[in-house]
């Protein structure tokens, strides 16, 4: 087999993978791009749609947290306060998370200056909340989470194979590679124009130009192909960055990454895992949900000691079992140097702890405190500087991914790959639709089947980097081989 044929066969095989993966993944990538673009501007959108809940008169002396929590419970009798997000600025409201006696969890907004309830909503029923949930799980729970992870992994592979297909071969031209040519002339028109003298044949050239425009208008695939290639090229690295910094939140890939970094000692530090507190099988994620930094989600959370009195004295008196209130905890946090804004999660049960997170846009000042609900003793104190280098990189990537790290410019930079994905997921299927003969699927046909060794290496490599994508490729290749061996495939017209 000649080198030129091998190169052509490889190109056709990559195109075939790119084609099938693109058609399957495009709808999911489109949803991820649109919802991601919405969430990039979550504060701005919420401030417009829910300004009456979020913006208050500037406050110098806020009322106690307990008073705000009580106001929220009064508005929803029978409910339970699970979390309080303190105000991020003097003109911002406080969010009190309430689990009602029946129905979905509610976010209640309280004016910190007066303690008055401003209103509430169910997060998932807001535009930003819908985009957030759809972005993470397509509103399908754990199944949707796996689908999103699979789509994201294949999205990365699509970008890599797309760059391979884009790479110029033969004579290099800027047009169609680095910028799209608005009008695609046919080769006949271009060659005819070169042979004739423009000064003598202006009318004929003008006629040819009009015909070229007609051809371009009637057969728009070259137009869409160039936009697809150019947009993909310019946005490729940002799309890859967006995918890689989003994958740590995926259940399967993210869990493997967390376990691997912890095992290697470059994730959550083992020296901070319990701070000498009683062992616990409860993780931070179990206790606080998705409110915690990524690094701490699977970290064990210490238990409170119901036999410890205030100030840490051991006692068997029933009064010692009284839990601290949120004002007591707020005072402890202030004493420990954790200043607002922070997220305060209340204990779920008698053995739970109060957990407070500072979760700033710049993760370098992240801090997590666990406070025994009976004694007030700090049983966990983790700073960003305690993280391993891999965990620090993930936390930094997450904040850039969400458009938080360097303000408005960060949002605009991350909006570029979102727009790029939207364009690619539209132009890709359009190219196929315009190329295919009527009534046919018109998938690219392989010139030769890839060797078993090559296929195995590709699948194994993918399984190492993206396990779900590697497994799905193995299944797809098996299905493709079974289809090629079937009698239906062999008796197709034109075979």
pLDDT of residue 202: 52
Q: Which residue has the higher pLDDT, 481 or 365?
A: 365
- Is residue 246 one of the residues assigned to a domain? no
Total tally of structural domains belonging to the chain = 3
Rg (CA), the chain: 29
Give the residue from 401, 462, 468 showing the smallest Cα distance to 147. 468
Q: Which domain holds residue 191?
A: 185-219
- Is residue 130 one of the residues assigned to a domain? no
pLDDT 10s digits, 324-350:
999 999 999 999 999 999 999 999 999
Of the residues 387, 421, 450, the one at which a domain ends: 387
Q: What is the mean pLDDT of residues 389-403?
A: 96
- Is residue 85 one of the residues assigned to a domain? yes
Q: What is the mean pLDDT of residues 158-186?
A: 74
For the cut 60, the answer to whether the pLDDT of residue 216 exceeds it is no
Q: Indicate whether 381 and 292 sit together in one domain.
A: yes
Q: What is the 3-state secondary structure (H, E, C) of 368-421?
A: EEEEECCCCCEEEEEEHHHCCHHHHHHHHHHHHHCCCCCHHHHHHHHHHHHHHH
pLDDT of residue 471: 86
For the cut 50, the answer to whether the pLDDT of residue 61 exceeds it is yes
pLDDT 10s digits, 6-55:
677 777 878 888 998 899 999 999 999 999 999 999 999 999 999 999 99
- Is residue 257 one of the residues assigned to a domain? no
Euclidean distance between the first and final Cα of the chain, in Å?
Answer: 22
- Is residue 295 one of the residues assigned to a domain? yes
In this structure, the dihedral spanned by the alpha carbons of residues 29, 33, 34 and 36, taken in order and rounded to 10 degrees, is: 130
Q: Hunting for tokens 């095992």 — which residue is that?
A: 263
- Is residue 214 one of the residues assigned to a domain? yes
Sign of CA dihedral 214, 218, 219, 224: positive
Of the residues 125, 150, 172, the one at which a domain ends: 125
pLDDT of residue 171: 67
pLDDT of residue 9: 74
Q: Which residue has the higher pLDDT, 253 or 215?
A: 253
Q: Indicate whether 277 and 382 sit together in one domain.
A: yes
Q: Show the tokens assigned to 317.
A: 């008196």
In 298-396, beta strands by DSSP E: 343-345, 353-358, 367-372, 378-383
pLDDT 10s digits, 399-414:
999 999 999 999 999 9
- Quote the percentage of the chain above a pLDDT of 90: 56
Q: Indicate whether 361 and 280 sit together in one domain.
A: yes
Q: Indicate whether 211 and 307 sit together in one domain.
A: no
Of the residues 387, 413, 435, the one at which a domain ends: 387
CATH classification at residue 117: 3.10.450
Q: Indicate whether 312 and 383 sit together in one domain.
A: yes
pLDDT of residue 334: 96
Q: Indicate whether 299 and 381 sit together in one domain.
A: yes
Kindly indicate the confidence band of residue 434, based on its pLDDT and cuts at 50, 70 and 90. confident
For the cut 50, the answer to whether the pLDDT of residue 217 exceeds it is no
- Is residue 401 one of the residues assigned to a domain? no
Q: Indicate whether 215 and 278 sit together in one domain.
A: no
pLDDT of residue 181: 74
- Is residue 484 one of the residues assigned to a domain? no
Q: Indicate whether 282 and 214 sit together in one domain.
A: no
- Quote the percentage of the chain above a pLDDT of 70: 81
Q: Indicate whether 108 and 211 sit together in one domain.
A: no
pLDDT of residue 195: 44
Q: Which residue has the higher pLDDT, 443 or 142?
A: 142
pLDDT of residue 312: 43
Q: What is the DSSP string of 76-95?
A: STT-EEEEEE--SSTTBPEE
């Amino acid at each position: 087999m000649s080198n030129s044929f091998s190169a052509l066969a490889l190109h056709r095989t990559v195109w075939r993978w790119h084609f099938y993966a693109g058609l399957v993944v495009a709808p999911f990538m489109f949803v991820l791009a649109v919802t991601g673009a919405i969430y990039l501007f979550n504060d701005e959108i919420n401030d417009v749609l829910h300004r009456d809940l979020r913006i208050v008169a500037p406050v110098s002396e806020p009322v106690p947290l307990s008073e705000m929590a009580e106001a929220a419970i009064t508005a929803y009798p029978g409910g339970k306060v699970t979390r309080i997000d303190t105000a991020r600025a003097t003109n911002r409201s406080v969010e009190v998370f309430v689990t009602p006696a029946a129905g979905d969890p509610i976010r209640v907004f309280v004016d910190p200056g007066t303690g008055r309830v401003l209103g509430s909503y169910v997060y998932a029923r807001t535009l930003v909340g819908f985009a957030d949930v759809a972005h993470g799980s397509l509103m399908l729970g754990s199944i949707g989470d796996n689908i999103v992870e699979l789509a994201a992994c294949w999205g990365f592979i699509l970008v890599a194979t797309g760059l391979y297909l884009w790479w110029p071969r033969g004579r290099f031209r800027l047009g169609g590679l680095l910028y799209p040519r608005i009008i695609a002339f046919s080769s006949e028109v271009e060659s005819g124009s070169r042979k004739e003298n423009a000064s003598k044949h202006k009318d004929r050239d003008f006629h040819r130009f009009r015909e070229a425009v007609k051809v371009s208008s009637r057969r728009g695939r070259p137009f869409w192909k160039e936009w697809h290639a150019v947009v993909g090229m310019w946005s490729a690295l940002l799309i890859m960055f967006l995918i890689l910094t989003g994958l740590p939140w995926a259940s399967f890939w993210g869990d493997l990454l967390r376990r691997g970094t912890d095992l290697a000692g470059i994730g959550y530090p083992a020296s901070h895992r319990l701070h000498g507190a009683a062992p616990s099988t409860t993780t931070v994620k179990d206790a606080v949900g998705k409110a915690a930094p990524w690094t701490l989600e699977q970290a064990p959370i210490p238990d409170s000691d119901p036999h410890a009195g205030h100030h840490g004295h051991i006692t068997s008196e029933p009064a010692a079992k009284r839990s601290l209130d949120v004002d007591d905890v707020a005072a402890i946090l202030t004493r420990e140097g954790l200043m607002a804004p922070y997220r305060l999660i209340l204990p779920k049960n008698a053995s739970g702890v109060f957990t407070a997170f500072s979760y700033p846009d710049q993760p370098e000042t992240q801090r997590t405190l666990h406070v025994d609900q009976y004694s007030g003793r700090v049983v966990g104190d983790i700073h960003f500087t305690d993280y391993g280098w891999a965990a620090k990189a993930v936390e930094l990537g997450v904040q850039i991914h969400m458009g938080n790290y360097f303000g408005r410019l960060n949002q605009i930079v991350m909006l570029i790959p979102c727009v790029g994905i939207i364009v690619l997921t539209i132009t890709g299927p359009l190219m196929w639709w315009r190329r295919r003969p009527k009534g046919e699927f018109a998938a690219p046909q392989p010139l030769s089947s890839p060797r078993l060794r090559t296929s195995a290496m590709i699948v194994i490599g993918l399984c190492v980097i993206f396990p779900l994508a590697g497994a799905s490729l193995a299944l797809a290749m098996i299905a493709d081989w079974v289809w090629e061996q079937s009698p239906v495939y062999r008796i197709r017209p034109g075979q």
